[in-house]
Structure 1
Amino acid sequence: MAILTSTMPTLIDKFSREDSTKKIMKIVELMAKQNDILMDAEYMECNDGSKHKTTMRSGIPEPTWRMFNQGVQPSKSTTVPVLDTTGMMEDYGLVDKALADLSGNADAFRASENLGKLQGFNNKASRYMFYGNSQTEPQAFLGLTPRYNSLAAESGRNIVDAGGTGSTNTSIWFVTWGELTTHLLYPKGSVAGFQHRNLGEDTVKDDVGGEFQAYRDHFKWDIGMSVRDWRANARVANIDVTTLTSDAATGAKLIENMIKAYYLLDNPMQGEGKTVIYANRTIQTFLHLQAMNSKNVNLTLGEYAGRKIPELLGIPIKRCDELLNTESRVV
């Protein structure tokens, strides 16, 4: 897996080319400041409406040794069909017209009010990228955790058990974004990412039925996820956050377990996609402290977008606060 190189478009790539008015691009840039993972992710249009049909290779064919004047039987690879779905997130914004006009710049006032809506979409999208489960919540989409949530499953080969046994656990994720690895989805014929529509002025009612004039906005985001090759991702699970220390030699063995996860990846540093490590604020804090230890050579500090963040073997470790410190034990 090549690190931080890919030909598939991210949201910034798409809208920097397509948005002539630059209004959508401003929204995307705000999203980039709020949540790294949404900008790292690569996007693909569904091939079946709001669903995406793919195949996952489950067996690699091998050639046959032959002798002169002796034939061979053609080999055949084995694949498993996979159907991923998208979910629809929607919300409305409502601002009292008189209040917005009083500000002297109604458009700017509405934009500032709508920032909270944008953050809410960001939070939910990134949370469901990890914890979404369409089996228990059919209107949502399937995220990473249900795909890597059993040591006994085939994908369990790419889970490192950090040893936590209670319910104060978190995870560190290695995700490889790419066309043949992991990517986000959007329905066929639609637009990728967060969408905003100005509905203009409308007469609305308050909680007791009184009417007033208001500016209304509609927000929408259709999103799904496809994991074409589970071998390209890895999860360090069962990290007990109560055992974390600033010294990598004691407490939870973060670096040791991350190195194990690195070598579970299929051909790390080669092939398709870009690999990024995700951890929450708690983990990233302790990794930063451990990186400051001069005895450590595997964990270093790199600079991305003007920020210093820890990296492991050249892979950036980015923060995703939607990753919980209250995960149940993976067995």
Structure 2
Amino acid sequence: MAILGSSYWNLIDVLKAGGDGLGDVVEALTQLTPFMKDANVVACNSGTEHRSTIRTGLPSVSWGALYQGIAQSKGNYTEVKDTTGFVEGLSSVDERLLNLKPAEAAKLRLVEGQGFLESIAQTVDSAIWYSDVKVNGKQFHGLAPRYNSLSNPNVVNAGGVQADNASIWFVTHGDMQTSVIVPDSVPAGVQREDMGRQRVLDGNGNPYYVKEEKFTQHMGLCVKDWRFNGRIANIDVSDVVAGTVALNPLLRKLYYKLQGRRAYHMEREGQVSPGRTVIYMNRMLLEALDAETSNGRSGVDNFVRLTPMEIQGEEVMTWRGIPIRETDALVTNEALVA
């Protein structure tokens, strides 16, 4: 059974519980950023950074015998530091425009603010997948730079050799797997601050007055256990359009590489949450997968069929019971992963 938000604390729950009146803003962002619908959100444990201790080696054990001692051993660990960044925008609406329809002033400001919300959503959604702190230190480290080599066991090569490639992702959200991180002193989600009446200058240096709103979102990503995520890379877009790429075998190959691949089906009382796995792909690939699994209803191709499920009033397609999220932040011109 696919579970999205019904059993897990997510970003919308955090903000609604906070009672800060930002529910509508965050709802708008999650509609634009599919990843946020599933995200497990945790506060940074070191200011704007989050430090995770990861086991890199198991302690050794041995068979015992009477009157013999026990060999001493210990596990090996390493510390990983993930950072956060923030995106912001400033909405300014001419006060004279608002005075023309005072009863609609709040709505007019929200309409203007929607553009900033969408821009933040697109920027954040792209950063989740492609942001690289080695390229831009203002940003946080996304997923693609972490899974950027075919030597990674959880990266499946789809065989593309050109520069028009796309990827499909399996991401497991949970405290022990992948989390969205926010600074410990900053609330999660988009912060909307009314800056009030401000005096500004036009292009000629002449003053006028506006009503300003500032929109800000702080966030980063922490991948505590890389084995629970995976990437199908080098999916040749032109071959997908031509119908010469079979996506189901690629999905199946990555599925059996994932740690705890059946974890999203179960959670027993008293156990640590195993997380929840979600598949992400762009619209073109989802359409191709849907077409691929809709042919031959006699079952002669033995493909796993996509199954639509209604989750919190939304129809979500699933593959082997794993929810699929469509996101156009996953582009069709990715560089070749070698």
Normalising by structure 2, we get a TM-score of: 0.90
Q: CA deviation at 1:61?
A: 2.8
Identify the residue that residue 325 of structure 2 maps to in structure 1.
318
Tell whether the 8 Å contact from 2:188 to 2:218 is kept in structure 1 after alignment. Answer: yes
The within-5 A match list for 1:171-210 is 171-210=167-206
Q: Distance in 2 between matches of 1:61 and 1:3?
A: 35
Q: Distance in 2 between matches of 1:196 and 1:82?
A: 32
Unpaired segments of 5 or more residues in structure 1? Answer: none
SS of the residue 2:122 aligns to: helix
Q: Distance in 2 between matches of 1:288 and 1:100?
A: 47
Identify the residue that residue 251 of structure 1 maps to in structure 2.
244
Identify which range, 36-45 or 161-170, moves more after superposition.
Answer: 36-45
Identify the residue that residue 305 of structure 2 maps to in structure 1.
299
Q: Distance in 2 between matches of 1:59 and 1:8?
A: 30
Q: CA deviation at 1:4?
A: 4.5
Matched residue type, 2:285: I
Identify the residue that residue 286 of structure 2 maps to in structure 1.
284
Q: Distance in 1 between matches of 2:7 and 2:85?
A: 25
Q: Distance in 2 between matches of 1:245 and 1:74?
A: 59
Q: Distance in 2 between matches of 1:75 and 1:8?
A: 37
Q: CA deviation at 1:205?
A: 1.1
Identify the residue that residue 157 of structure 1 maps to in structure 2.
153
Pick aligned residue for 1:330 from 321, 330, 337 = 337
The answer to whether residue 110 in structure 2 is matched with residue 111 in structure 1 is: yes
Pick aligned residue for 1:87 from 68, 85, 88 = 85
Q: Distance in 2 between matches of 1:253 and 1:78?
A: 41
Identify the residue that residue 170 of structure 1 maps to in structure 2.
166
Q: CA deviation at 1:77?
A: 1.5
How far does the alpha carbon of each residue in 1:200-220 deviate from its partner, in whole angstroms, 9 at most, with x for none?
Answer: 111111122121111001111
Q: CA deviation at 1:306?
A: 3.7
Tell whether the 8 Å contact from 1:90 to 1:218 is kept in structure 2 after alignment. Answer: yes
Matched residue type, 2:245: A
Tell whether the 8 Å contact from 1:6 to 1:272 is kept in structure 2 after alignment. Answer: no
Matched residue type, 1:79: Y
Q: CA deviation at 1:308?
A: 3.6
SS of the residue 1:54 aligns to: strand
Tell whether the 8 Å contact from 1:8 to 1:179 is kept in structure 2 after alignment. Answer: no
Q: CA deviation at 1:5?
A: 7.2
The answer to whether residue 236 in structure 2 is matched with residue 240 in structure 1 is: yes
How far does the alpha carbon of each residue in 1:228-287 deviate from its partner, in whole angstroms, 9 at most, with x for none?
Answer: 0000100000000111159xxx61121100111111110211262110000011111112
Q: CA deviation at 1:120?
A: 0.7
SS of the residue 1:299 aligns to: coil
Identify the residue that residue 9 of structure 1 maps to in structure 2.
9
The answer to whether residue 260 in structure 2 is matched with residue 267 in structure 1 is: yes
Identify the residue that residue 127 of structure 1 maps to in structure 2.
126
CA distance 1:7–1:77, change in 2 (3 Å) = farther
Q: Distance in 1 between matches of 2:3 and 2:281?
A: 17
Tell whether the 8 Å contact from 2:48 to 2:83 is kept in structure 1 after alignment. Answer: yes
- Count of equivalent residues: 322
Q: CA deviation at 1:101?
A: 2.5
Identify which range, 118-127 or 99-108, moves more after superposition.
Answer: 99-108
Matched residue type, 2:28: L
Q: Distance in 1 between matches of 2:294 and 2:241?
A: 13
Q: CA deviation at 1:114?
A: 0.3
Q: CA deviation at 1:28?
A: 1.4
How far does the alpha carbon of each residue in 1:174-195 deviate from its partner, in whole angstroms, 9 at most, with x for none?
Answer: 0000101000111112111110
How far does the alpha carbon of each residue in 1:160-182 deviate from its partner, in whole angstroms, 9 at most, with x for none?
Answer: 00000111100000000010100
Q: CA deviation at 1:297?
A: 4.4
Matched residue type, 2:111: S
Q: CA deviation at 1:307?
A: 4.0
SS of the residue 1:95 aligns to: strand
Unpaired segments of 5 or more residues in structure 2? Answer: 264-272
Normalising by structure 1, we get a TM-score of: 0.92
Q: Runs of 4+ in structure 1 displaced over 4 angstroms?
A: 2-8
Aligned CA-pair RMSD: 1.9
Identify which range, 56-65 or 130-139, moves more after superposition.
Answer: 56-65
Identify which range, 302-311 or 269-278, moves more after superposition.
Answer: 302-311
Pick aligned residue for 2:30 from 29, 32, 40 = 32
Identity %: 34
